[in-house]
Amino acid sequence: MSALALAAAAPFAPVDQEYLFEARQMQALSFAVHIPLVCFGIAFPAFVLFMEALWLRTGDPVYRTIAKRWSKVMLALFAVGVVTGTILSFELGLLWPGFMATFGDVFGLGFTLEAFSFFVEAIFIAIYVYGWDRLSPRAHFLAGIPVVIAGFTGSLMVISVNAWMNHPSGFTLEGGRVTDVRPLAALFGNDYLWHELVHMYLAGYIVAGFLTAGVYAWGWLRGRRGRYERVALVVPLTVAALAAPVQIVVGDWAARVVARDQPAKLAAFEGLHESEAGAPVHLLGWYDGEQVRYGIELPRLLSLLAFHDPNAPVEGLEEVPANERPPVNVVRVAFQTMVGIGCVLAAVSAIYLFVWLRRRRLPRSPWFYRAVVAAGPLSVVALIAGWVTTEVGRQPWVVYGHMRTEEAITGAGGIPVGYASLVLVYAGLIASVAWILRRLARAPVEVRQQ
Amino acid sequence: MTLAETPLVLMLVGLTAYAVLGGADFGAAFWQLGSRSETRREHAYRSMGPVWETNHVWLVFVLAICWTAYPEAFASIFSTLAIPLFIAAVGIILRGTAYAVHAGTAREIERQTIDAVFSISSILTPFALGTAIGGVASGRVPVGNAEGDLVTSWVNPTSFAVGAIAVAAGVYLAAVYLAGDAARAGHDDLAAAFRRRALASGAVTGAVALAGLLVVTLDAEKLRGGLFGWPAILAIVASPAAGLATLELVRRAHFEAARYLASAAVAAIVVGWALAQRPELLPGLTVEEAAAERPVLVATIVGVAVGAVVLVPSLVLLFGLVLRGRFDREAVGADGEPRARRVALPRGPLAGLAILALAVGLPLTLVPDGGPVQAVGVIGLLAFVAVGSVALGSAAAAVGGRDEDG
């Protein structure tokens, strides 16, 4: 009787799904393709507008040429971002109906509001790009501003949902159904939101900045060192170079919030098995299920980083049952990759800022330009590693502490077929994007003199 | 209309907008597929280029409201209809990629290849979405996690009929819009070509819609009762009437009026379906039962209302510019020049401000654990990046842009 009542109460009771891992991989692939495009959605409009502002102030046509050429890239990447983002929302239902059926009403408002950001972004990016030479300079510049704002509000809405998944609140769960839903509290009354938002928003500027600068650093190495190229190099590089060191401070803040709200995730960052005061950090190495082997131990560093106190007690993985621990090595390697690359990027930034502030010129060593070329792809790796850190670190929960990922999954078959199809389609998409970017870059630069 | 039904009405508005606007975008690709004329293909891209992304967002809007306000219905639909919805998703990726790469095509062979691949996807997507709607309309999606048949839920007469109507309507709408855009831009040959296509595809669409109605009445018993009952019957009569009137407007080359009336014909179909199916969303699940709790519904409706305050003027601006032909004319240089001032940018105060923001932001972010003080710190750090970028970026652009190594 009670089982029957429960079945009647919860039509989305967990199902048997053979391909949970493939479904997670499919979601991760879709995300990994989308998120670098998001960085361009966040930051690139600001770069373009900055160039246009320089043109409006100085009348120097080189700025206008850059802004106009970049805006074509912006539009192409936005188009791909639009469709890959849509796929993510489809997959929420296609792969995780258990999650959506149970919790869609709690966090759904975030996506409803995001749709409006998305509308504003799409509308004004079109007006901006198609409006070159067709609107007055001032109107054209103003048309770009909503794009930048919508890039921020869109990030805010989407990340409010992710923050809620990591630190859920604003509802009561009774017998597999949520009641007493408070959507605004769930999304925006969540103190897990702000560090995630700032961390991602800065990441957008770092990734877009280094990737864009990297293109012109590559050109510099091959002898393309004209004024156009140098201006196009320094502006995104300056933004990224200021954001990258700040990102380390924001990362420290994020780690402290994780230590407070998700101790098991923090323990997985390090592979800390037993709770201890004055916990160390191990560089590299491998977690064997009980301890980190072959790592370089830095004593007390984990306590210091997580609580700003070298003797603070840190909860180990042993505090949670074995079936509630995330896959430690994936999280650990991803975390160290992100932090390691973050430090390299900050170092490259420091060199650039130092040379600029001391000598008022660009560094001259080709090694600097090689480093900037490498910084672009490295920042993308760090971006994805960061998301792996937080999302794999959330496992085995889809809604932290409330719903396990296997309770969320679809009962439909054919996940491997869908996954394989998506791999093919995304391979084609990446090839197409690479092709169009090369094409746009090859078009001859024509600076119209006045 | 009850509170529980209000989000559904918003969804239907979104669905109509997507069918009328996004549908035409897919339809434009159909005309590219069938066209050997370079001008006609280019015209389709130019016409849809500024608006397709915006049109596409309506789909995201519909989905987001659905999973917020009717989460179990959304999950039931997406799990049972996984196959057609996945096909639609793939089609959407391909269509978007086509727009992204179109700007870079230089040679005829490239254009033809891209057009061919992506036009097929453009037919597939509305057809697949139509079959999914047909599955819901004919009561083949039960409540639950993939509880329905993964194949027959969308491979059935009603689904295929709705899919065919979706494709045909999009093709027709596209022809009407493209004719209108061509006429406005003064391309009379193009306008005439698309006028002929609009008349032909309009006749076909009408026939497909009537045949579809027949199929649906034979296949979906429950829906039949609703469709021919009051008040759905009004919509069933209004749609073909509007459709016929549109054809007459096209014949007289009143393309702008035809644009709106054609949209009304599509809207009537959506409204008719909704009224016919009322009060059930899925078999055994009424809208009232499917709806989320009151605070969620209120938050959704208020959220949409607030969003609309921003969205409506923005849409009016974009479509105003497009429909007044501001994006049609060739680029003109004359009004594209600023009053060149060649002024030096003030850098000193900005750099000072950036350093101040850093000095405040760093300790206030690092020391407190949460709270408003830390929030001030974080804002300080962001201000440092923003103001510093402006100060240093403009200086670096000016100085770094100077020839230095000859």
**Amino acid, res. B7:** P
Interchain contact, B296 vs A230, CB within 8 Å? no
Quick check: A234 and B396 CB within 8 A?
A: yes
A144 within domain boundaries:
yes
CA dist., res. B138 & res. B140, Å (int) = 6
Residue B1 CA to residue B8 CA, distance in Å, equals: 10
A262 and A360 together in one domain: yes
CB A270 within 8 A of CB A282: yes
Mark yes or no for CB contact B85/A231 under 8 Å. no
Q: Are B85 and B44 in contact (CB under 8 A)?
A: no
pLDDT of residue B99: 82
The Cα–Cα gap between B144 and A100 comes to 12
Q: Chain-wide mean pLDDT for chain B? A: 87
Structural domain for B53, as ranges: 6-323
In a domain, B333, yes or no: no
SS3 assignment, position B281: strand
Q: Let me know if B252 is exposed, middle or buried by CB neighbors in 10 A (0-12, 13-18, 19+).
A: exposed
B157 belongs to a structural domain: yes
What is the C-alpha to C-alpha distance for residues A430 and B65, in angstroms, rounded to an integer? 31
Cα of first residue to Cα of last residue in chain A, in angstroms, is 84
Is B332 an 8 Å CB contact of chain A?
Answer: yes
* Closest residue on chain A to B300 (Cα): A109
- Digit-coded pLDDT (tens) for A219-248: 999 988 888 888 999 999 999 999 999 999
**DSSP secondary structure code for residue B295 in this structure:** H
Instruction: Flag if A133 and B104 touch (Cβ within 8 Å).
Output: no
Between helix A61-95 and helix A20-58 the angle, nearest 10°, is: 160
**Which range has the worst mean pLDDT, A368-377, A390-399, B108-117, B242-251?**
B108-117
Which chain B residues are Cβ-neighbours of A45 within 8 angstroms?
A: none
Is the pLDDT at B94 greater than 80? The verdict is yes
Q: Are A101 and B71 inside 8 Å of each other by CB? A: yes
Question: What's the confidence (pLDDT) of residue B345?
Answer: 55
What is the C-alpha to C-alpha distance for residues A275 and A302, in angstroms, rounded to an integer? 12
Are B288 and B377 within one domain?
no
pLDDT score for A1: 36
Structure tokens at A113: 């509001």
- Read off φ and ψ for residue A245, nearest 5 degrees: -65, -40
Closest to A102 (Cα-Cα) out of B86, B145, B155: B145
Q: Does A101 touch chain B (CB under 8 A)?
A: yes
Alpha-carbon distance B202 to nearest alpha carbon in chain A (angstroms)? 29
pLDDT at B59 over 90: yes
In whole angstroms, what is the distance from residue A232 CA to residue A445 CA?
12
Report if residue A300 sits inside a domain. yes
Same domain membership, residue B377 and residue B313: no
Contact state of A411 with B145 under an 8 Å Cβ cutoff: yes
Whether residue A448 is contained in a domain is answered as no
Average pLDDT over residues A398-415: 91
One domain, residues A434 and A388: no
Q: How many whole angstroms separate alpha carbon B123 and alpha carbon A86?
A: 18
The answer on A246 and A152 residing in a single domain is no
Please indicate, yes or no, if residue B125 is contained in any of the structural domains.
yes
Report the chain A residue with the minimal C-alpha distance to residue B386: A239
Neighbours of A179 (CB within 10 A): 10
Looking at the structure, tell me whether residues B193 and B260 fall in a common domain: yes
B185 and B49 co-located in one domain: yes
Whole-number Å distance between alpha carbons of B146 and A357: 62
- Measured between CA atoms, the residue of chain B closest to residue A439 is B104
Residue B200 counted as domain residue: yes
Please give the pLDDT value at position A60: 86
Statement to judge: residues A338 and A372 lie in one domain:
yes
- Interchain CB distance below 8 Å, A90 and B63: yes
**In chain A, what percentage of residues exceed pLDDT 70?**
97
- Rounded to whole angstroms, the Cα distance separating B77 from B71 reads 10
Residues A233 and A88 in one domain: no
For A96-135, write each residue's pLDDT tens digit: 999 999 999 999 999 999 999 999 999 999 999 998 888 8
Report chain B residues whose CB lies below 8 A from the CB of A146.
314
Q: Could you tell me the two tokens for B342?
A: 């060649």
- The phi, psi pair for A286, rounded to 5°, reads -145, 135
pLDDT over 90 at A290, yes or no: no
C-alpha torsion sign, points A102, A178, B5, A161: negative
Residues B94 and B198 in one domain: yes
What phi and psi, each to the nearest 5 degrees, are found at residue A295?
Answer: -95, 160
CB atoms A249 and B400 under 8 Å = no
CB of A145 within 8 Å of any CB in chain B? no
State the pLDDT at residue B50. 87
Q: Using CA of residue B289, residue B291, residue B293, residue B298, what is the dihedral sign?
A: negative
User: Per the CB < 8 Å rule, is A433 touching B97?
Assistant: yes
Structural domains counted in chain B:
2
**One-letter-per-residue 3-state SS of A370-407:** HHHHHHHHHHHHHHHHHHHHHHHCCCCEEECCCEEHHH
pLDDT in tens, B95-142: 888 888 876 777 777 777 777 777 888 889 999 999 999 999 999 999
Amino acid identity at A411: G
Tell me the per-residue pLDDT of B324-370, one tens digit each, with 9 for 90 and over. 877 876 544 444 455 555 555 555 788 889 889 998 998 988 888 88
Say which residue, A360 or B286, is predicted with more confidence: B286
A263: in domain: yes
Q: How far apart are CA A93 and CA B43, in angstroms?
A: 36
Closest C-alpha among B50, B3, B297, B136 to residue A112:
B297
Contact B68 A102 (CB under 8 A): no
The answer to whether the beta carbons of residues A403 and A165 sit under 8 Å apart is no
Q: Do B145 and A413 touch (CB under 8 A)?
A: no
Same domain, A30 and A127: yes
> Within 10 Å of residue B340's Cβ, how many Cβ atoms?
14
Q: Are residues B99 and B42 in the same domain?
A: yes
Which of A101, A181, A433 has its CB closest to that of B75?
A: A101
Residue after which a domain boundary falls, among B282, B304, B323: B323
In the 8-state DSSP scheme, what is residue B212? H
CA angle A361, A364, A367 (to 5 degrees): 135
pLDDT (tens digit, 9 = 90+) per residue, A299-320? 999 999 999 999 999 999 999 9
CB-based contact B300 A109, cutoff 8 Å: yes
Q: For residues A123 and B315, is the Cβ–Cβ distance under 8 A?
A: yes
Q: Which pLDDT tens digit goes with each residue over B242-272? A: 999 999 999 998 988 998 898 898 889 888 9
The answer to whether residues B364 and B242 belong to one domain is: no
Which chain A residues touch B100 with a CB distance below 8 Å? 76-77, 79-80, 432-433, 436
Q: Phi, psi (5° rounding) for residue B87? A: -60, -45
A120/A227 same-domain check: no
**Same domain membership, residue A183 and residue A56:** yes
Residue A374 lies in a domain: yes
User: CA of A103 to nearest chain B CA: how many angstroms apart?
Assistant: 7
> pTM higher than 0.80, yes or no?
yes
Cα angle at A35 between A32 and A39, to 5 degrees?
150
A413 inside domain: yes
Given a cut of 70, is residue A334 above it in pLDDT?
A: yes
Confidence check: pLDDT of A4 > 90: no
Please indicate, yes or no, if residue B1 is contained in any of the structural domains: no
**B75 interfaces chain A, CB cutoff of 8 Å:** yes
Q: How confident is the prediction for chain A on average, in pLDDT?
A: 90
Q: Are both B215 and B107 inside the same structural domain?
A: yes
Rounded to the nearest 10 degrees, the angle between the axes of helix B371-400 and helix B348-366 is: 150
**Nearest alpha-carbon partner for A19 in B82, B72, B91:** B82
Q: Which range marks the domain in which residue A257 is found?
A: 223-401
Contacts of B53 in chain A (CB under 8 A): 78-79, 82, 122, 125-126
SS3 A11: coil
A423 touches chain B (CB under 8 A): no
The CATH number assigned to the domain holding B88 equals 1.20.1630.10
Q: Are residues A396 and A411 in the same domain?
A: no
Tell me what percent of the residues of chain B surpass a pLDDT of 70: 92
Pairing of strands A286-287, A292-293: antiparallel
Which of A92, A158, A242 to substitute to test the interface with B, most B CBs within 10 Å? Answer: A242
Do B128 and B262 belong together in one domain? yes
For residue A15, pLDDT over 90 is answered with no
Taking 3-state DSSP, the helix, strand and coil percentages for chain B, each rounded to the nearest 5, stand at 75, 0, 20
Residue B358 lies in a domain: yes
In this structure, the answer to whether residues B294 and B388 fall within a common structural domain is no
B269 and B121 in a common domain: yes
Judged by a CB distance cut-off of 8 A, whether residue B341 touches chain A is: yes
DSSP string over B326-376: TTTSPP-SGGG------PPPP-HHHHHHHHHHHHHHHHHHHS--SHHHHHH
A162/A169 Cα distance (integer angstroms) = 12
CA distance A38 to A34: 6
β-pair type (A292-293, A296-298): unpaired
Torsion of CA A349, A350, A355, A357, to 10 degrees: 100
Per-residue pLDDT at A3 exceeds 60: no
Rg (C-alpha) for chain A, rounded Å, is: 24
Same domain, A385 and A434: no
Give chain B's end-to-end CA distance (angstroms, integer): 74
**Mean pLDDT of the A79-89 span:** 91
Q: Is the CB of residue A406 less than 8 Å from the CB of residue B70? A: no
Say if B314 is an interface residue toward chain A (CB within 8 Å).
Answer: yes
Asked whether A186 and A169 are in contact (CB, 8 A), the reply is yes
For residue B313, whether the previous peptide bond is cis, meaning omega lies within 30 degrees of 0, is: no
Q: What is the mean pLDDT of residues A437-441?
A: 85
Tell me the chain B residues in contact with residue A425 when contact means C-beta distances shorter than 8 Å. 90, 93-94
Residues A384 and A435 in one domain: no
Q: What is the ipTM of this complex?
A: 0.91
Determine whether the interchain pair A450/B337 forms a contact, defined as Cβ–Cβ distance below 8 Å. Answer: yes
Tokens, residue A59:
């009348």
Mean pLDDT of A347-371: 91
B330 part of a folded domain: no
B142 upstream amide cis, omega within 30 of 0: no
pLDDT computed for residue A443 by the predictor: 79
CA distances to A184, B38, B50, B247 from B188, rounded to whole Å, are 54, 16, 22, 19
Residue B405 has pLDDT above 50, yes or no: no
Give contacts of B 104-163 with A, CB under 8 A: 104, 106, 143-147, 150
pLDDT tens per residue, range B195-204: 999 999 999 9
Query: Tokens standing for B173?
Result: 């709408």
- My answer on whether A103 and A28 are in the same domain is yes
Distance, C-alpha A418 to centroid of its chain? 24
Examine residue B21 and state whether it is found in any structural domain, yes or no: yes
Between CA A432 and CA B101 the distance in angstroms is 7
Instruction: Yes or no: say if B246 and B189 are a contact pair by the CB < 8 Å rule.
Output: no
> Which residue in B78, B83, B86 is closest to A97 by CB distance?
B78
| pLDDT number for residue A449 | 52
What is the rounded CA–CA span in Å between residue A66 and residue B398?
Answer: 14
Domain count, chain A: 2
Gap between the Cα atoms of A343 and B39, Å rounded: 53
Band (A405; pLDDT cuts 50, 70, 90)? very high
Cβ atoms A150, A40 nearer than 8 A: no
Q: Give B162→chain A minimum CA distance, Å.
A: 21
The one-letter amino acid at B126? P
Residue in this structure with the two tokens 């809208």, named with its chain if needed: B287
Two structure tokens written together for B172: 């027709």
pLDDT per position as a tens digit, B131-161: 999 999 999 999 989 888 999 999 999 999 9
Asked whether residue A249 is domain-assigned, the answer is yes
Name the residue of chain A whose CA is nearest to B46's CA: A130
**Coil, strand or helix at A14:** coil
Is A217 contained in some domain?
A: no
A-chain residue closest to B294, CA distance: A181
Q: For A162-205, how does the pLDDT look when each residue is reduced to its tens digit (9 = 90+)?
A: 999 999 999 998 887 888 899 999 999 898 999 999 999 999 99
CB B224 within 8 A of CB B216: yes
Nearest to A435 among B60, B104, B378 (CB): B104
